[in-house]
Amino acid sequence: MKILVCISHVPDTTSKINFTNDNKEFDTNGVQFVINPNDEFGLTRAMWFKEKQQASVEVVTVGGPEVEPTLRKALAIGADSAIRVDMPATDSYSVAQQLAAVVKDGGYDLVIAGRESIDYNGGMVPGMVAAMTDTSFVNTCISLEIDGNKATAVREIDGGKETVSTTLPLVIGGQKGLVEESDLRIPNMRGIMMARKKPLNVKAAVDSNSETATQSFEKPAPKGEVTLVDADNLDKLIDLLHNEAKAI
């Protein structure tokens, strides 16, 4: 089985976010980037298929040279090879076009992408890749088993879960549940050293077009001041909740 895992290069959630150029561009200075968490769940599941079913695992992302440390981390975790499509990741549609071209050229049985990235939270790329490659698609996937050419997946739906079956090839939008956080792998020294020797191929971008453009960014409003009430002053707490917070 040949697996492709789509990786997003995203800011660590602990990073302080700022914008430049009149709030039109994201300021990357001092920002630590990581593998998108939803993608990391998918990569870990792919490692399971590699170890249990002798699958080959390739990772791909769209971006400039700055994304290569993230790809190297995926290689250190255990992926066999990596692809970087040499194009800025400007919007979901153009990224999906680039990934679809990789999928069509690679002959993959299974494409694992995260349900969404934690930076823009668009949640569109996996479904568009499936549509562009005319491939079966399961979103919000929390469990996946492969038996020969048959796939059985469980996905989250409103108010519950749904079990579906299909045949390969397949694209999934994965999330926590494919594996648990305790299953995620930290690269060890041997993996880091081996990653240096694994192939990281840079591919020229295919012709694509962006359907959206960022007009401006805006930070959330700052939190209001906190009023502390003495634990013994219940009357004041009730008064504040009733007259100021309008909560009761």
Which H or E run contains 37? helix 37-53
Q: What is the pLDDT of residue 52?
A: 94
3-state SS class at 240: helix
CB under 8 Å to 175, separation ≥6 — which residues? Answer: 38, 41, 114, 115, 140, 141, 142, 156
Strand partners, 167: 150
Supply the pTM of this predicted model.
Answer: 0.87
Q: What is the pLDDT of residue 135?
A: 96
96 and 104 Cβ atoms separated by less than 8 Å: no
Q: What is the pLDDT of residues 199-212, one digit of tens each?
A: 999 999 999 988 88
Residue 1: CB atoms within 10 A of its CB come to: 17
Q: What is the pLDDT of residue 15?
A: 87
- What is the spatial distance between Cα 195 and Cα 187, in angstroms, rounded to a whole number? 10
Q: What is the pLDDT of residue 90?
A: 87
CB under 8 Å to 72, separation ≥6 — which residues? Answer: 82, 195, 196, 200
- Sign of the torsion angle spanned by Cα atoms 39, 195, 145, 138: positive
Token representation of residue 243: 């007259």
Q: Please give the chain's pLDDT, 248 residues, in tens.
A: 999 999 999 999 888 889 999 998 889 888 999 999 999 999 999 999 999 999 999 999 999 999 999 999 999 999 999 999 999 998 999 999 999 999 999 999 999 999 999 988 889 999 999 999 999 999 999 999 999 999 999 999 999 999 999 999 999 999 999 999 999 999 999 999 999 999 999 999 999 988 888 889 988 888 878 888 898 888 888 988 888 888 88
- What is the spatial distance between Cα 40 and Cα 103, in angstroms, rounded to a whole number? 19
- What is the spatial distance between Cα 142 and Cα 138, in angstroms, rounded to a whole number? 10
List the domains of the chain with CATH numbers.
Answer: 2-220 (3.40.50.620)
